[in-house]
Structure 1
């Protein structure tokens, strides 16, 4: 059985992006993302994949969800829907990495959430993460970090597990 994990960085309003770009550049968040996802499977929407500066992320299985069956990307597999993609991941750790519509579909399937909660509000945002409802999700751990010379705002790494 595979484990489905959503990983995302959200601000105080659950904003995740603007014009297909991340809202914040936090080096420790990017390091955490790489550490957690390397060697595992990533599932993402087409726009998220196209926002990656160098295409498919190395040392990971990259799966792209798109209704366009004619799409083809180097080092990525295309599936027409989330269910089909997840079914292809037997006994794998699967990280859902965005964007907004994929997160909304996946939140009902996920076993865990690995969130970076940014203690700020972006001026401009056009993509949002679904509300994390406490009756469905239990906070498992929280690691708080202050702003510093490399991180313009404070943030927390927060892990949630699904309540049974």
Structure 2
């Protein structure tokens, strides 16, 4: 199964200067809970934004950066794909894996017709951003759950977790 997991503000922003434009610990916890033990698929810029390897997850990175490909040869929990074809072959070879696409925008665009499940965090505020989430045709998905988050001293913005499942092909 291929799933997207991301957070966006009311303007669709998902990033600013290579980082999240907000600090929302509840969303980080949600991300960890959903992705722990599963491969996470990302582009090079998303990978570079991490402070280090996230524990207990295989990092799948699509990049043209040959040095990163070499690093993957000696790094546990890192697989690097030099082309979309190579990446898609890996996905096809692992049909029983829950693979989470975590960004960036070009990777979300590349796989938009293949994603099965959407894990969206909507932050009900406006932030300055330089990357927006590519358009998703929500008519192809059923909204299966909405959970409002609790605003508190650590999570200062209203937010909700939404989960969508792709409709069967014959119902679209």
SS at match of 1:97: strand
Gaps of 5+ in 2: none
Following superposition, which runs of at least 4 residues in structure 1 exceed 3 angstroms of deviation?
Answer: none
1:99 to 2:98 alignment: no
Supply the distance in 2 between the matched residues of 1:40 and 1:152 (Cα, whole angstroms).
29
Distance across 1 between alignment mates of 2:160 and 2:38: 23
Distance 1:142 1:88, change over 3 A: same
Is the helix fraction higher in 1 or 2? 2
Counterpart pick for 1:132 among 133, 136, 146: 136
* Structural mapping, 1:1-164, within 5 Å: 3-54=1-52, 56-71=53-68, 72-73=71-72, 74-75=75-76, 76-89=78-91, 90=94, 91-122=96-127, 124-164=128-168
- How well do the aligned residues superpose, as a CA RMSD in angstroms? 1.4
In 1, the alpha carbon distance for the partners of 2:134 and 2:151 equals: 25
Contact kept, 8 Å, 1:45 with 1:64, in 2: the verdict is yes
Q: TM-score, normalised by structure 2?
A: 0.87
Q: How many residues align?
A: 160
1:70 is displaced (CA, Å) by 3.4
Contact 1:6 1:107 in 2 (8 A): no
> In 2, distance between residues paired with 1:35 and 1:103?
21
Gapped runs of 5+ residues in structure 1? none
Give secondary structure in 1 for the equivalent of 2:139. Answer: coil
- For the 8 Å contact 1:100–1:127, the answer to whether it is kept is yes
Q: Over alpha carbons, which structure has the higher Rg?
A: 2
8 Å CA contact retained: 1:14, 1:131: no
- Give the TM-score normalised by the residue count of structure 1: 0.91
Cα drift, residue 136 of structure 1 = 1.6
